[in-house]
Structure 1
Amino acid sequence: MRHLLATGFALAITPLAFIALPATAQSLGMPDDFSLSSTTSSSDSGAQGARTLDKIVAVVGDDVVLDSELDQAVTRIKARAGSRASQMPSDILRSQVLDQLIMQRLQMQRARERNVEISDSEVDDGLRRIAQQNNMSMEQLTRAVAADGMSMGQLREQIRQELMISKLRRQEVMSKVTISDEDVDRYLENQSLRAAEDREYRVRHIVVPVPQGADAESVESTRRQLQSLREEIVAGDADFADVAAARSQGENAMQGGDMGWMDGAYLPSTFADVVPQLQPGETSEVFRDADGFHLVQVEDMRGGDSVMPDEKVMVEEVQASHILLKPNEIRDDERTRELARQIRERLEAGDDFAALAREYSDDNATANQGGELGWVQSQRLDPTTRRQLNALDAGEVSPIFQTSEGYEILRVADRRERDQTREAVRNRARRALGEQKSTEEGELWLRKLRDEAYVDVRMAGYRDTNGS
């Protein structure tokens, strides 16, 4: 089993157009030909010479990317992409991988500026998730990592960095995404999106960026290049995946542009009006957005399990009350349990549940209402409480049971089924909009991060991914 991180810990990096900045290496006190070197001595002559160990291929803020690091990353990408990687020119492949390393550096620098920290226990959880996703024990995972040419220490550091980037993006991007009821209304009114909700699409993608500030002639030249490629694909003279591997500058280029299966409701806004109009095997016309010119091909489609407005979603609700007793400085755990036992006996003797809740319950939110919880969906409660509720018929009182807060007694007044179709449809629409907005805001955030940074690329043969 190779490349474990592809199963859920892939770096959150979107390749962006490289923008040359006016700063120079000298401003950081580094000569243009700076390289890491070691000094060796000759036993014959006593003279010393410098043996170059590594070269800097990019300066990123106060950090650097080394040639050996780029080589290792390219090797991993080639192994992961298989034959696709061999179809991409070496300079383009190395340039795209270098761009990804640069974006990783920039995000890590921002995370440290924001004091984002990941605990050892969070890294341990990440390791366990990788093992579970690959149906492995931790011992098997350790052996597989070693066979992949990594140490567990390196894997832990990679997981820590990816978790830091994920937490940073939640703080700086996801927390700013809001979806209003009006947004949901507009989404549901859009019939083309509604029609696409019950499908999933296997999509391949080619993108050729347009440089910022490009003149009309350069823009038209880029469009014609992609149009010519489309004509070759449609005529059967070229394979879409091969063209994507060789010419696309998107993050999925090395996988032949394969974006995997995408829920129709989660399509990026750039594709939302294009993909649903295509049949399997069909290639879109060339279209443009703020990033550049695009081609997409629907490789396959399949039906989904989406909740549609004409389907009913029924949920069971329980009308319940409770009495909660919490141990405190005056009443220890044993005395609290004894009080709960006495209250339960009084209930069996016919005392009023609401009156006892008002007198004894330590839940300040419900005690004054006689312990009323209202209508609740049992599946949203903790497992212990849910088991107790599910065992009761209307009018029954539960035995005493212990929770994380203390000792609890439940009473079920009634049960009902409620049609929650409308809420289910709106919740799904809200999630889809949240995914779209998060993706769009994340791309803008990455672009701004890149534009504001000092980056000096020194890799020989670097290909500017602006497409200029």
Structure 2
Amino acid sequence: MKLFKRLSLVAMLVSATALTPLIAQTIGDDPVPEAKLAIPDGQQLFGKNDPNVRRATAQVNGEIITGTDIDHRLALIVAANENKLPPEELARFRAQVLTNLIDETLQIQEAAANEIEVTDAEVNQYFDRVAQQNFNRPANEVEKYLISIGSSVATLKRQIKGELSWSRLLSRNVRPSANVSDDEVNAIIERIKATKGTTEYRLGEIYLSATPETMSAVTENAKKIIDQLRQGGNFVAYARQFSEASTASVGGDLGWLGLAQLPQSLANAAANMNANEVQAVTSPGGISILLLIDKRQVATSDPRDSVLSLKQIAITFPKGTPEAQVAPLVKQFSEETQQITGCGAADEMARKLGADVVNRDGIKIRELPAPLQQVMLDLQIGQSTPPYGSLQDGVRVFVLCGRDAPQEAASESFDEIMSRLEEERVNKRARIYLRDLRRDAVIEYN
């Protein structure tokens, strides 16, 4: 019995391929000034555009993106969402995958034009590391898994190559000019000192740009995405495929932010959100789908960072066992385990109940499922939690064997703040760089 429900293998693999750490990059509330197009009213369209016709493949500056390329990348997303995507979602994802592959191709081409090489050996080495870190298994077993879901090693390695190429290109052509002064860093340090004890928010964002003309369609699209997320869709996977912010490659994670660092519309929403809540926020530049991942107090220790030593006692039920038959077993399990008087007595109780025992150390309270976090904060050493679980996954209790209080939170160092600010500037310029590549590209849809 596993202690915690893990992310699906594909979700972990998809998120693990983000190579460059990205910092919060939201779009401000003020409209971005743009040159106006001279488009007179009262004219007509010569020809028809059928919105139901989607271009399946494309050539990007002569390089072909095949239907197989799209299918293999799409399979990763489907698996990350536990094969629960409805047909209309698949169609939208397919169109977005093609857009992502076009951008990826442009990035690889631009790196090659600048004589930046990413060798097969480097890609293979990174892939092997991802396989070991996220799957705890050799790369050849991961290859079998990807084939089983309709994907391939090739599509994942191409994504790795694209992100390595883009990262190196930015490091050479963009990063050297993203300078941050000492005065800017010192100003942030003073602001952190002044805001000690206030609340910071860790947010995920899926940013969808919109103009006044497209706002209605984009709003409808955002509603569909939120519906899928609330039904269990993987936020990281959706952010990587749909978000137009540079944080898409890290699953939309904006990091820890104070409300003052956010555009006012996002700050107002975040202040009233609960953990794991998803909400759409409208701004002049488009729509942000926000996920509140967590909250904490600035530069102060958080009790949820306490490190626990736990003993898990779990029972499972044969597949197909009626709920009426399970209820008295759970009741007995609950009554017996509440009599545990310390971790030393837990093993004997488990033997008596025919339960499995797992010892786990080094678990932070904030890493536990939300229903257990408050229970752990109030639990005394040697006490056990109420039963937690389900008919399908089994029921378990956790005995608290030890708890180490969190150390006083350390503020960011001067160098850490400077690095963060430089990264913000690199990311903003990266979006402009990619926008220019799109404008200059010759793209033929098939």
Give the TM-score normalised by structure 2: 0.50
Aligned to 2:266: 274
Tell me the residue number matched to 1:102.
102
SS at match of 2:295: strand
For 1:388, the equivalent position in structure 2 comes to none
TM-superposed deviation, 1:98: 0.5
Q: Which residue of 2 aligns with 1:125?
A: 125
Contact 1:197 1:264 in 2 (8 A): no
Aligned to 2:296: 303
Answering whether residue 178 of structure 2 is matched by residue 172 of structure 1, we say no
Cα-to-partner distance string for 1:217-272 (whole Å, 9 max, x where unaligned): xx1x5445667899x89xxxx84836998xxx964549xx9956542249997658
Contact 1:59–1:455 (Cα < 8 Å) also in 2: yes
The aligned counterpart of 1:77 is 77
Unaligned runs of 5+ in 1: 15-54, 211-218, 309-420, 459-468
Give the Cα–Cα distance (whole angstroms) in 1 for the partners of residues 176 and 290 of structure 2: 33
Aligned with residue 286 of structure 1, among 282, 301, 320 = 282
In the alignment, does 2:116 pair up with 1:116? yes
Q: For 1:188 and 1:240, how far apart are their aligned partners in 2?
A: 40
**SS of structure 2 residue aligned to 1:456:** strand
Shift of 1:79: 1.9
Aligned twin of 1:44: none
The 1:267–1:59 alpha-carbon spacing in structure 2 relative to 1, beyond 3 Å, is: farther
Q: Give the whole-Å Cα distance in 1 for the aligned partners of 2:81 and 2:68.
A: 20
Q: What whole-Å deviation, never above 9, does each CA across 1:30-89 have from its counterpart, x for those lacking one?
A: xxxxxxxxxxxxxxxxxxxxxxxxx97212112121223222322332222335642754
Aligned residue for 2:436?
A: 448
How far did residue 178 of structure 1 move? 1.4
Which letter does structure 2 place at the counterpart of 1:279? M
Q: Cα distance, 1:454 vs. partner?
A: 1.2
CA distance in 2, matches of 1:430, 1:197: 22
Q: Deviations along 1:377-436, whole A, 9 cap, x unmatched?
A: xxxxxxxxxxxxxxxxxxxxxxxxxxxxxxxxxxxxxxxxxxxx9995433332332232
Q: Is residue 439 from structure 1 mapped to residue 427 from structure 2 by the alignment? A: yes
Report deviation, 1:102. 0.4
Change in 2 beyond 3 A, CA 1:206/1:84:
farther
For 1:430, the equivalent position in structure 2 comes to 418
User: Residues of 1 paired with 2:280 and 2:431: CA distance?
Assistant: 23
Number of residue-to-residue matches in the alignment: 282
Q: Which residue of 2 aligns with 1:350?
A: none
Q: Is the 8 A contact 2:107 2:162 kept in 1?
A: no
CA distance in 1, matches of 2:228, 2:411: 41
Structure 2 SS opposite 1:179 = coil
Distance of 1:259 and 1:224 partners within structure 2: 25
In structure 2, do the counterparts of structure 1 residues 454 and 132 end up closer, same or farther at CA, with 3 Å as the change threshold?
Answer: same
Q: In 1, are the aligned partners of 2:239 and 2:252 still within 8 Å (CA)?
A: no
Give the equivalent residue in structure 1 for 2:255: 263
Code of the aligned partner of 1:288:
P
Native 8 Å contact 1:265 1:432 kept in 2: no
CA contact (8 A) 1:61 1:454 kept: yes
Structure 2 CA distance for aligned equivalents of residues 155 and 282 of structure 1? 29
**Match of 2:57, SS?**
strand
AA aligned to 1:274 is: L
Match status 1:6 vs 2:1: no
CA distance in 2, matches of 1:197, 1:429: 19
> 1:66 aligns to what?
66
Distance of aligned partners of 1:144 and 1:441 in 2 relative to their CA distance in 1, 3 Å threshold: same
Whether the 8 Å CA contact 2:60–2:102 is kept in 1: the answer is yes
Residues 1:79 and 1:443: Cα distance change in structure 2 (over 3 Å): same
Query: Structure 2: where are the runs of 5+ without partners?
Result: 1-7, 26-54, 301-408
Q: Which amino acid is the alignment partner of residue 143 of structure 1?
A: E
Structure whose CA Rg is larger: 1
Task: Give, as a single letter, the amino acid of the residue that structure 1 aligns with 2:283.
Answer: F
Q: Which residue of 2 aligns with 1:147?
A: 145
Q: Match of 2:182, as an amino acid?
A: D
Question: In the aligned structure 2, how far is the partner of 1:122 from the partner of 1:94?
Answer: 29
Q: Secondary structure at the match of 1:116?
A: coil
* C-alpha contact (below 8 Å) 2:201/2:292 kept by paired residues: no
CA-atom RMSD in angstroms:
4.6
State the shift of 1:100 in Å: 0.4
Instruction: Supply the AA of the counterpart residue of 1:61.
Output: N
8 Å CA contact retained: 1:58, 1:64:
yes
> Contact 1:199 / 1:302 at 8 angstroms: preserved in 2?
yes
Contact 1:192-1:273 within 8 A present in 2 as well:
no
1:209/1:177 CA distance change after superposition, 3 Å: same
CA separation of 1:128/1:169 partners in 2, compared to 1, >3 Å: closer, same or farther? same
SS in 2 for 1:134: helix
Q: Do the aligned partners of residues 178 and 85 (structure 1) sit closer, same or farther apart at CA in structure 2, a change above 3 Å counting?
A: farther
**Residues 326-365 of structure 1 mapped to structure 2, 5 A cutoff:** none
Contact 2:13 2:134 in 1 (8 A): no
Q: Measured at CA, do residues 229 and 5 of structure 1 come closer, stay the same or move farther in structure 2, by a change above 3 Å?
A: closer
Cα distance, 1:443 vs structure 2 = 1.3
The corresponding residue for 2:312 is none
Counterparts in 2 of 1:264 and 1:422: CA distance versus 1, 3 Å: closer
Amino acid at match of 2:273: Q
- Choose 277-286 or 262-271, whichever is displaced more: 262-271
The one-character-per-residue Cα deviations of 1:95-140 (angstroms, maximum 9, x if unpaired) are: 11110010111111111111111345533531342133125243xx
Asked if the contact 1:223–1:286 (Cα under 8 Å) also holds between the matched residues in 2, the reply is no
3-state DSSP of counterpart to 1:294:
strand
What letter corresponds to residue 183 of structure 1 in structure 2? Answer: E
Per-residue CA deviations over 1:297-353 (Å, capped at 9, x if unaligned) read 34342327x657xxxxxxxxxxxxxxxxxxxxxxxxxxxxxxxxxxxxxxxxxxxxx
Q: Write the letter of the residue equivalent to 1:433.
A: L
